[in-house]
Structure 1
């Protein structure tokens, strides 16, 4: 009896020791922020899914930092594509002491939130915000893994004039930081290539009726209508262009260059009518890796990639790589490693310049045929 009574507390003590070891495992919080409500929710959820894939993979393989196994926790937040909500969420995440932020999706939310993260010393890696202003503020914590609007807009403007032979161009933007930024850069690129901007109009990112602005532009007889904004507005705009008999090519940036555009545009989307560019893209050598990612994404979530999920995945993996190189998840310690990182990701090599922009960012041009997005070219 005495022996048995001695074994019981010993067994309990061993159990408590193991429980204590498990409990003491370091939890590293990585936040993802994007619109999970409103018209851009499908894009925000897509980016969050990409970040979640990375976190789940890291945890499954028992990722270690400084020789210790850590558990990553993804903290998902909704900014509804609203600047005020974005700053409120940023403040909340600072209070929660997250180790990094993947996001935000929109330039209009990424830019105001970046000041809050910078003040707190928390690294922020956006998988999709393309307005050049984001990395021109001098914040050491701001990074992006896609090319910016200056590159994207200029490439589209040059393509419109030199490849399509366009001379008469109309420009519409939704007055967001992203939409206005990419439209301005497109106009600069088109003018530099010899094109003429025959009309400029504005809408907003929640608009559904474009008859007045489209009717005004129809009289200018544009060969191309460029729209700076997102697919939730661009799709209905295409429908109304058809209704008004406007047969111009429709161009835009990565905001409209999505798998959701055909459903949003319906019969307004003609073959080869839309030409758009995504910030990012892989060459032939990287195609298999991207195809594998898309297949794994569909298997995990039951849906196809919508937007920039692979870039959110790479952003998350790049942050983890920097932590491993620094031997710490403390932002102060791993931030210098992040700034000089060279991480081989699904989308290519992730390395940043002095401002935090990705080096040698790729651009991918697409059109749509039979309701399917079709690759035109990958360029830099």
Structure 2
């Protein structure tokens, strides 16, 4: 994925070491470090109707009420950020022959839709992965696709952990026979307590190694984001002895009404890492994620760090969906020269019968002028 400028150093962030964090800002650099704020990192506005083709209805770039495609992972297959053609991989639910699928059922397929303009996805998908192995437990979900050499690698969540399938052309995939990231032993004393890792987000670092961020469920509906590293994408080593990102601290007892519960005070989910570089060439890593509060509302947050190691610092406010009633989740960011596209899964609408999942898109900066849609 192309490198972008980092979140501005003046943007208020909160460090997130386990179990609680404290507010901070990113380290300051020279005056030419970058514009304040950095509009390419967010916040994102909803995409407009005139920016979508294929008769899609903004802000939804995907509203498939036959397969309930969601959880987008969008890949620029030629590796050239100046060209917009991309492949989108989505989790989907396919029903029995001749029967409608249940939108609440776990995904049982990963499907591919292409988009000549990077956002207006075709109407006819290709199923590239379905559950076959016992450890998958009948489900494949949460795709995270990336280019590695001449291959397309597709990480995915299943009942027994996180799997990997690989393809030379992006249509026929060969999967690994066992999960590449399985649950830890329940009695090892680690913070994951044997919970099944899911929702992988994988990024390839400049040195060729890979980083994975993933979700582990906790008690009482809480969830946390862990981190792992790998040199070959197959053997993964967990990073640290605590979550990379945890729910934000709740206001102290007796706090004033102005100190509202943070949008991510109950759970952090669906990490999506993006490499970045500052205007002065300082490498960094951003992790977009879905945050949930105790009322079940969700919005898209952002955490970041300079360099590729060390604690993440979270932005104090969401970058998308702060006032949305559609509960956006499962973010994915695709970067192009001059703008970024954010894809999120959310309810198709607020009316009765519109509660099935759809994929909406956002744009940053808000005044970005996108190339004309295709077709």
The verdict on a shared fold, with TM-score over 0.5 as the criterion, is: no
**Greater strand content:** 2
Task: Identify the structure with bigger relative contact order (alpha carbons < 8 Å, sequence gap 6+).
Answer: 2
TM-score by length of 2: 0.24
TM-score by length of 1: 0.24
**Greater helix content:** 1
